[in-house]
Structure 1
Amino acid sequence: MATALPDRAADQGRVLSEAIARVAGCWKLTNEQLGAILGLSPATASRLRSGGFRLDRSSKAFELGQYLVRLFRSLDALMGSDDLASISWLRTANLDLDGRPIDLIRTVRGLNDVADYVDDHRAQI
Structure 2
Amino acid sequence: MAADDGERTSVRTYVPRYQKERWQSHAADLDMSQSEFVRTMVQAGRKGFDPEPEELASAEETDPPSPDANPGGNGLEDRVVETLSDGAHYDWEELLAALTDDIEQRLDETLQELQSDGRVRYSGRHGGYVLDE
Q: TM-score by structure 1 length?
A: 0.25
Higher percent of residues as strand: 2
Greater RCO (CA < 8 Å, at least 6 residues apart): 1
Q: TM-score by structure 2 length?
A: 0.24
